[in-house]
Amino acid sequence: MPALLELICPAGSLPALKAAVDNGADGVYLGLKDNTNARNFAGLNFDAKALADGIRYAHNKGVKVLMALNTYPQPDTLSRWHQAVDIAATSGLDAIILADPGLMAYARKVHPNLRLHLSVQGSATSYEAVNFYRERFGIQRAVLPRVLSLPQVENVVNNTDVEIELFGFGGLCVMVEGRCLLSSYACGDSPNTFGACSPGHAVRWQQTPKGMETRLNGVLIDRYADDEKAGYPTLCKGRFDVQGETYYALEEPTSLNSMEMLPEMARLGIAAIKIEGRQRSPAYVAQVTQVWRAAIDAVKKDQAAFKPNPAWMAQLNKVSEGSMSTLGAYYRPWK
Amino acid sequence: MNLLNFPKPLARFVSTLPSWPASRAFVAAGNLVAWPSLRDLDWSHVAGRRFRVQVSDLGLKLYFSVNANGFRALHNGLADVTFTATAQDFARLALRLEDPDTLFFNRRLLIEGDTDLGLMVKNMLDAVELETAAAGMPVGMGRVVMKLRHLALK
């Protein structure tokens, strides 16, 4: 039977992985402690021992483990990415999530039995692109970027054999995944190669008489009054002076929450729902996994009667960036 | 469930305490209760760095550093990184009831100074299993901690 609405949850540490498993995830995705993945933060992620322990724990409970290798290797450090693929292939995990075609070619050639997923960072928005990755590298699942409306997702699903995974919940960005260079203007690093939009070393928060200031490499990107909710310290979520007016010029801090679209996603045969947030703590993973497990179970039981429970939505809004959420591009009346 | 809601008169009293004895008491408690489950972590990137924990509702400022032998109290002064939150929120973080990013979005947690250092410590602590930490605590304190968490989750 093809996969349907598998719940794929984030883990930045072994306790987070266990929180996901214990609260009902079907799969957990994680990364290694370096820039081979897009959550490259100090102290976060898995070393060899945590990886082995995590895979054992998850597999004992029938839960899959996926590894994100979703940054773009650079010529002088290519061997690090190859080693990461080798580690994934020999550790017994269930799939790797890749963005770089060169890395897919390596994985396909050296580890032909390793299951490959196309990362959202690969930015494939059409069935032609998804099928290209299938034909050339044998990918079995694609995570679609969050720029498509649901009818556009349907068009992809109807024209490919590749399983489709959609984002269900978590931080939103400007969504030019895999091609965004915004943070490099302030930090000199690109998220696609460094593995973080705002490297910790470049971020400074300071409470001042005017409010809490967020700076990125010295550049003031936002100032919050005491009663204002804060967002992640990324350039895309900063407020800027545009012709004498200061506002969120690119996007405001908010999280994606597509829960009310679950019945439609089930109808389309969406293979999996991804929860964002490997940078977050076990408490978040437990709270969000629990809510989404209940929601997906409810949809599978009765699609027509499904309505998001207000308590679930309140719980999700509580942990959302800026304490609010949006349907993003999934719902839009225009084409 | 509310954890550590201090009555105002007590908070006023605590805020008059000097930092040095408070830091020493905090460090002594930390070494007794938490260090057994933290000693195996790689503290090499953190050694010698100066931490300040500000408990905003109590007006309490704690200064300390961490090395391979445990926590060490410091006299007032400059800190490399400062964490500010209420006693209640620090307790909820310690019991894994609350996610630090959630508190940050809601302006209940502030990290000033070296963000990378703050993130590293946060992530190192997240990687410690609460059950393991509780099991390493002396005289049944671990059971109290797990019980508190259990009650708060209800």
Read out DSSP for A192-204?
Answer: HHHS-SS-GGGEE
Treating both helix axes as pointing N-terminal to C-terminal, what angle do A310-319 and A282-301 enclose, rounded to 10 degrees? 150
| B142 confidence band (pLDDT: 50, 70, 90) | confident
| B2 confidence band (pLDDT: 50, 70, 90) | low
Please tell me the distance from the alpha carbon of residue B85 to that of residue A285, in angstroms, as a whole number. 22
Inter-chain CB proximity B126 and A15 less than 8 Å: yes
Answer yes or no: is pLDDT of A262 > 60. yes
- Alpha-carbon distance B134 to nearest alpha carbon in chain A (angstroms): 14
Name the nearest CA neighbour of A116 among A64, A50, A68: A68
Q: Euclidean distance between the first and final Cα of chain B, in Å?
A: 8
* Lowest-confidence segment of A73-77, B58-62, B138-142 by average pLDDT: B138-142
Count how many domains chain B has. 1
Q: Which pLDDT score is estimated for B116?
A: 95
Q: Which pLDDT score is estimated for B5?
A: 67
Averaged pLDDT of chain B: 88
Domain boundaries, chain A: 6-172+254-326, 182-248
HEC per residue, A252-277: CCCEEECHHHHHHHHHHCCCEEEECC
CA–CA distances in Å: residue A224 to residues A106, A208, A210, A217, B95: 46, 10, 8, 18, 28
Spell out a b/e string for A170-185, using b for 16 or more CB atoms within 10 Å of the CB, else e: bbbbebebbebebbbe
- What kind of fold does domain A6-172+254-326 have according to CATH? TIM Barrel (3.20.20)
* B99's tokens: 């996610």
Name the nearest CA neighbour of A39 among A14, A65, A70: A70
What is the ipTM metric for this complex? 0.91
CATH for B80: 3.30.1050.10
Across the range B34-38, mean pLDDT stands at 90
CA A69 from centroid of its chain's CA atoms: 12
Inter-chain CB proximity B99 and A204 less than 8 Å: no
* pLDDT tens per residue across span A275-333: 999 999 999 999 999 999 999 999 999 999 999 999 999 999 999 987 778 888 888 77
Name the nearest CA neighbour of A272 among A188, A128, A157: A157
Q: Which pLDDT score is estimated for B133?
A: 85
Amino acid at A333: P
Question: To 10 degrees, the CA torsion angle through A292, A295, A297, A302?
Answer: -160
Q: Identify the domain containing residue B46 by its residue range.
A: 8-153
Please tell me the distance from the alpha carbon of residue A329 to that of residue A147, in angstroms, as a whole number. 5
Inter-chain CB proximity B100 and A281 less than 8 Å: yes
Which chain B residues touch A227 with a CB distance below 8 Å? 107
Please tell me the distance from the alpha carbon of residue A135 to that of residue A8, in angstroms, as a whole number. 25
Inter-chain CB proximity B101 and A284 less than 8 Å: yes
- Alpha-carbon distance A196 to nearest alpha carbon in chain B (angstroms): 12
Contact B30, B71 (CB under 8 A): yes
Inter-chain CB proximity B105 and A280 less than 8 Å: no
- Alpha-carbon distance B44 to nearest alpha carbon in chain A (angstroms): 12
* A305's tokens: 């009667």
Contact B67, B48 (CB under 8 A): yes
Count of CB atoms situated within 10 Å of the CB of B96: 21
Please tell me the distance from the alpha carbon of residue B98 to that of residue B122, in angstroms, as a whole number. 13
Q: Has residue B3 been placed in a domain?
A: no
Please tell me the distance from the alpha carbon of residue A87 to that of residue A107, in angstroms, as a whole number. 11
Q: How many CB pairs under 8 A join A and B?
A: 100
Q: Which pLDDT score is estimated for A329?
A: 84
Q: What is the pTM of this model?
A: 0.94
Amino acid at B102: T
Question: To 10 degrees, the CA torsion angle through A241, A243, A244, A250?
Answer: -30
Count of CB atoms situated within 10 Å of the CB of B68: 10
Q: Has residue B1 been placed in a domain?
A: no
| A225 confidence band (pLDDT: 50, 70, 90) | very high
Helix, strand, coil percentages (3-state) for chain A, rounded to 5, are 40, 20, 40
Within 8 A by CB and 6+ apart from B13, the residues are none
Q: Which pLDDT score is estimated for B6?
A: 66
Contact A134, A160 (CB under 8 A): yes
Count of CB atoms situated within 10 Å of the CB of B67: 13
Within 8 A by CB and 6+ apart from A247, the residues are A239, A240
Residue with the two structure tokens 């969504």: A175
Name the nearest CA neighbour of A21 among A68, A67, A70, A56: A56
Q: Has residue B66 been placed in a domain?
A: yes
Percent of chain A topping pLDDT 70:
99
* Lowest-confidence segment of A49-53, A80-84, B9-13 by average pLDDT: B9-13
CA–CA distances in Å: residue B3 to residues B27, B52, B102, B137, B139: 21, 22, 18, 20, 21
Half-sphere exposure at residue A325, Cβ-oriented, CA atoms within 13 angstroms: 21
Count of CB atoms situated within 10 Å of the CB of A334: 4
Inter-chain CB proximity B123 and A226 less than 8 Å: no
- Nearest neighbour of A205 by CB, restricted to B106, B112, B129: B112
CA–CA distances in Å: residue A184 to residues A165, A200, A202, A238: 29, 14, 11, 15
* pLDDT tens per residue across span B46-93: 999 999 999 999 999 999 999 999 999 999 788 999 999 999 999 999
Contact A20, A9 (CB under 8 A): yes
Which chain A residues touch B123 with a CB distance below 8 Å? 12-13, 41-44
* Lowest-confidence segment of A116-120, B49-53, B63-67, B141-145 by average pLDDT: B141-145
